[in-house]
A and B are shown apart, each in its own frame.
Chain A
Amino acid sequence: MTTLTPAVFHILLALADRDRHGYGIMLEIAERTNRQVQMGPGTLYGTLKRMLEGSLIEECDERIDPDLSDERRRYYRITQQGRRAAAAEAERLQALVRIARAKSVFRAA
Chain B
Amino acid sequence: MTSEDLYRILLKVYPARYRRKYEQAMTQCFRDQLRAADTRGKRVRLWFRTIVDFALNVPARHLETPPRTPYPNAYGERARRAIYLARLEKGPFSYGEISLENLLLGALRSDEELTSALLGPHGMETLVTMVRAMETNKVVPRSPLLRWERGRRRRGPTLALDCKKALAKAQQEAHDSCTQVSSRHILLGILDQDTSLATRLLRERALDLSYLRSSSDPDTRRPNG
Q: CB within 8 A of A49: which of B22, B28, B54?
A: B22
Q: Main SS of chain B's interface residues?
A: helix
Q: CB within 8 A of B29: which of A41, A53, A59?
A: A41
B26 in the interface, Cβ–Cβ < 8 Å? yes
Q: Are B28 and A73 in contact (CB under 8 A)?
A: yes
Instruction: Take A58-B165, A58-B168, A79-B172 as given contacts and tell me if A40 and B49 are in contact as well, using a CB distance cutoff of 8 Å.
Output: yes
* A contact set with B: CB distance below 8 Å: 22-23, 26, 38, 40-46, 49, 53-55, 58-59, 68-69, 71, 73-74, 79-81
List, in ascending order, chain A residues with CB within 8 A of B28's CB: 22-23, 71, 73
Closest chain A residue, CB of each to CB of B23: A45
Q: With the chains together, A22 CA to B29 CA distance in Å? A: 7
CB of B72 to closest CB in A, whole Å: 13
Q: CB within 8 A of B53: which of A40, A49, A54, A55?
A: A40
Number of CB contacts from chain A to chain B under 8 A: 70
B146 in the interface, Cβ–Cβ < 8 Å? no
Q: Are B32 and A23 in contact (CB under 8 A)?
A: yes
Count of residues in B whose CB is under 8 Å from the partner chain: 31
List, in ascending order, chain B residues with CB within 8 A of A58's CB: 165, 168
List, in ascending order, chain B residues with CB within 8 A of A38's CB: 49
Question: Can you list 24 A-B contacts with CB-CB less than 8 angstroms, sorted by A residue number?
Answer: A22-B25, A26-B29, A38-B49, A40-B52, A40-B54, A40-B57, A41-B26, A42-B26, A42-B54, A42-B58, A42-B61, A45-B22, A45-B25, A45-B26, A46-B57, A49-B18, A53-B67, A54-B70, A55-B70, A59-B161, A69-B32, A73-B25, A79-B168, A81-B175
